[in-house]
Structure formats: structure tokens, C-alpha cells
Amino acid sequence: MIKTIFDFYYHALKNDPRPDAFTQKMNGRWVSLSSAEIVEKSKRFSTGLLQLGLQKGDRIAVISNNRTEWHLTDLAVQQIGVINVPIYTNITEADYQYILNDCGAKFAFVSDGTIAGKIKNIQSGVVSLNGIYTFDEVAGFQHYSDLLQPEIDEEAIQAAQAQVHEDDVATFIYTSGTTGNPKGVMLTHRNLVSNVV
């Protein structure tokens, strides 16, 4: 039974595995990941996140347009109980600083050098922020693939998954802040799953 966001991926792998579950254009050509590759990469990513010391209830920010790495990050954090805080790519540095402080993000995962530069500019004003990882290769920044461990810690991931319940917060969604500071809405796994099932 599907009760959490990450259950969808495992359900799809078991019941409808696809060779091209995620496809995106990279360097002028289409690149696909199979259902099995998505789950395997997410587990390698989760292993790295656990090694960073992230645990249930911690928050990370994702600042990126839609792309495969965004979804891998979401699955990797959701299955270990970490809360994903997606943030618009086109807001001011002041808004980034406000949201990152408000949610207490420990790490930011960003699409490119432009956004990485903006977050670097305000990093000293965000006490909780321990690091910035990029999806594109950007000089001077850690690439998200640095966290993809060669060995999956299946036991640690399964233990973390067992601690994630449908009424746990899965994500904070922030408003655009047109009439003041952005406001975060907490959504549980149950909220999100009920919109799909």
C-alpha cells in the first residue's frame, strides 16, 4: 500500500518497471534512467546523506528547475525522513536568505552556477546552512554526485524508511511572498499521496 512519497517509486519498480522512467535532454541528446536505476541511485544518494549526518526531520532546500536530479534528490531525502524544501529559482537573495533561515535548511541543492553564486552570497547569514551542492558541474562548488556512495547502506536506509510515517511532514512549500515575507506550508506524506491516489 502506498502511504509515503517514496512508496510510489518502489511500487513502480515492482509493478511497472520502465527502461525510461526519467528522461531529459543533456548536451543535446536524450538520456534516460530506468526505474531500477532511479531507485539504485537514490539509495546511493541516501547513503551519502546519512553519512553527512542528516536525520529524520532535518531540512534541505532544492533550488532548481525540473530535472532528473531534482527528483533523485527528492526520493533520496524523503526515504530517510528528511524534509524537502523546494524554492523558486527566480527570487531575490534576500528571499533565499529568509526562506533558508525560516526552514532551517542544512544543505542547499541547486541547479547551476548562477543560483549557487546567489546562495554563496548569503550563506554567512544562514546559520543552519552547512553546504551547497550543484546539479551542473560548477567550479568551486561540490557536485551532488559526490554524495552518491559506491556502496549502499541498505540496513540504514531500511531503518530510516521504517521511521517515516504518512503523517510526517514531507515538504515545506513557500508562497511567493507578494504581500510580505514568504510563508511556508507544511505538507505531510498523506497530504501528497491523497492528491495522487
Q: CATH number for the domain including 176?
A: 3.40.50.12780
Distance CA 60, CA 82 (A): 7
DSSP category for residue 184: E
Higher pLDDT, 127 or 26: 127
pLDDT at 197 over 90: no
- Domain containing 141 equals 5-196
DSSP category for residue 123: G
The rounded radius of gyration (Å) of the Cα atoms in the chain is 16
pLDDT single digits (tens) 13-64: 999 999 999 999 988 999 999 999 999 999 999 999 999 999 999 999 999 9
Q: Using alpha carbons only, what angle is made at residue 180 by residues 174 and 185, rounded to the nearest 5 degrees?
A: 25
Smallest Cα–Cα separation from 72: which of 52, 45, 53, 49? 45
Smallest Cα–Cα separation from 44: which of 161, 147, 164? 147
Number of structural domains, the chain? 1
DSSP category for residue 150: S
Residue 26: predicted pLDDT: 86
Grid coordinates standing for 50? 546519512
pLDDT single digits (tens) 134-187: 999 999 999 999 999 999 999 999 999 999 999 999 999 998 767 888 899 999
In this structure, how many other beta carbons lie within 10 angstroms of the beta carbon of residue 189? 23
